[in-house]
């Protein structure tokens, strides 16, 4: 099966893609293009999958750069291929040609950034914690430090868990209300004291408030098991582990 790559016109002319799980070498619960070295999948198979992504991005595997994601607001400015151990962070930026920045997700938001006027790109892993703590704004700031301009930055939120599948408890709401009471608009009523959180809408709000052009591809990871891995879906199914999707962009 060939790779399936979701793209966005606003990120052109840079080569980029939100890769689905189709076209990979993994099997079992990881069936497809599992690119997560932190999973319990066979490491050599994960490397094969990442190699296919690197080929699609037109770079050597060593130039497909990822970090050790920890749900932080931390950003790494990349000037060359990174060696192990990878730095702990949740976003990357560069203005160096030939490097592909990539993030891994399985419900959290993968966000790709491009400033075509100034040749600066970025990629961020933005779950609820990272988004609340400012990883998206930190990515933009790091791009500005490389010469990007706020008004010419385009950001695209890739496949993420949608509101209809993201049930949370009252303590979750409290964190967002403490940051801004207006955040209540990103929550809808669920059963009992449960609520449904709109992660992509929150991400778009943070990006647009920061002054950049932003959109969501409108793909839900939870509701489409043939195309996407989902941590929450795997948890509900009591599966032992789950695959990680990859999203990448290069100059």
Same domain, 61 and 105: yes
Q: Is residue 202 part of a domain?
A: no
* Residue burial 168-200, b: 16+ Cβ < 10 Å; e: rest: beeebbeebeeeeeebeebbeeeeeeebbbbbb
Q: Is residue 226 part of a domain?
A: yes
Average of per-residue pLDDT values in the chain: 97
pLDDT tens column, 184-195: 999 998 899 999
Same domain, 35 and 94: yes
Choose among 115, 108, 116, 194: nearest CA to 158.
108
pLDDT tens column, 52-110: 999 999 999 999 999 999 999 999 999 998 877 899 999 999 999 999 999 999 999 99
- Residue 46: phi, psi to the nearest 5? -60, -40
pLDDT score recorded for residue 114? 98
Q: Is residue 204 part of a domain?
A: no
Q: How many CA atoms lie within 13 A of 129 on its CB side?
A: 7
Q: In percent, how much of the chain has pLDDT > 70?
A: 100
Domain extent at residue 170: 163-197
Same domain, 75 and 101: yes
Same domain, 244 and 181: no
Q: What is the mean pLDDT of residues 20-33?
A: 98
Q: Is residue 126 part of a domain?
A: yes
The DSSP line for 214-238 is EEE---BSTT-TTT---HHHHHHTT
pLDDT score recorded for residue 84? 79
Same domain, 114 and 70: yes
Domain count, the chain: 2
CB atoms within 10 A of CB 237: 11
Q: Is residue 146 part of a domain?
A: yes
Same domain, 46 and 76: yes
Beta-ladder partners of 189: 195
Q: Is residue 83 part of a domain?
A: yes
What is the CATH number for 220? 3.60.140.10
């Amino acid at each position: 099966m060939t790779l399936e790559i979701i793209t966005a016109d606003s990120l052109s002319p840079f080569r980029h893609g939100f890769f689905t799980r189709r076209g990979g070498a993994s099997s079992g619960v990881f069936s497809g293009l599992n690119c997560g070295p932190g999973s319990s999948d066979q490491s050599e198979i994960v490397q094969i999958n990442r190699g296919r992504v690197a080929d699609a991005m037109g770079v050597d595997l060593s130039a497909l750069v990822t970090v050790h994601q920890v749900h932080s607001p931390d950003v790494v400015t990349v000037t060359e291929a990174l060696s192990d151990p990878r730095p702990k962070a949740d976003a990357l930026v560069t203005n160096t040609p030939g490097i592909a920045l990539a993030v891994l997700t399985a419900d959290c938001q993968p966000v790709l950034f491009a400033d075509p006027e100034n040749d600066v790109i970025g990629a961020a892993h933005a779950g609820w914690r990272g988004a609340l703590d400012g990883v998206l704004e930190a990515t933009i700031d790091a791009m500005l430090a490389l010469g990007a301009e706020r008004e010419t930055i385009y950001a695209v939120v890739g496949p993420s868990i949608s509101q209809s599948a993201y049930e949370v408890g009252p303590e979750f709401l409290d964190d967002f209300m403490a940051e801004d009471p207006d955040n209540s608009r990103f929550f809808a009523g669920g059963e009992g004291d449960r609520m449904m959180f709109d992660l992509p809408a929150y991400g778009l709000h943070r990006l647009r408030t920061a002054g950049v052009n932003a959109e969501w591809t409108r793909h839900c990871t939870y509701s489409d098991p043939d195309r996407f891995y989902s941590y929450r879906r795997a948890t509900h199914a009591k599966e032992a582990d789950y695959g990680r999707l990859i999203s990448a962009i290069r100059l």
